Structure 1
Amino acid sequence: MTPNIGTRERIVRLVAGLLLAALPFVSGWAFFESALWTWLSVIVGLVLVVTGILRFCPAWCMLGCATNGKACGR
């Protein structure tokens, strides 16, 4: 797993992931009264947080993208 996420993208992923994971529990929006949307938001948020922590995104690697200036090694 060669890191393929740059610093800026890592910060964005961590912040967005934390917001998505917490939003259903603190927002009070009627949108999140459905369990489907609550779980979907939490799962997407956790995936963003994990990829931000590991600095590796499998989807970016499959597409051959890298935001840290290095090519993805397989």
Structure 2
Amino acid sequence: MQNVGSTDRMLRIVVGLVLLAVALAGPTLGFSIVAGLGAWKWLLAAVGAVMLLTGVFRFCPAYLPLGISTCRRD
């Protein structure tokens, strides 16, 4: 079952990768604001991972109870 359309999918993948990069590699790349986040960077990484996975698998569990689907109707 798929409920994530193409545009939604691409946005999720890009946002997920950016959040993961900022959270995990940010402090080593000189993003001082991320270094000051402490444990919050792990929440940022978790949100990035969820966004990435929902984009890759084209399925968002949060869409189910809300009845949302961004897939095209045939």
CA drift at 1:61: 1.0
Superposed CA offset, 1:8-54 (max 9, x none): 00000000000001113235132442322210110000000000011
Query: What RMSD in Å do the two structures reach over aligned CA positions?
Result: 1.5
Between stretches 56-65 and 28-37, larger displacement belongs to 28-37
Q: Which residue of 1 aligns with 2:54?
A: 51
**TM-score of the aligned structures, taking structure 2 as reference length:** 0.82
Number of residue-to-residue matches in the alignment: 69
Letter in 2 for 1:63: L
Residue identity over aligned pairs, in percent, reads 36
Q: Which ranges in structure 1 are unaligned for 5 or more consecutive residues?
A: none
Q: Which residue of 2 aligns with 1:39?
A: 42
**TM-score of the aligned structures, taking structure 1 as reference length:** 0.82
Between stretches 27-36 and 44-53, larger displacement belongs to 27-36
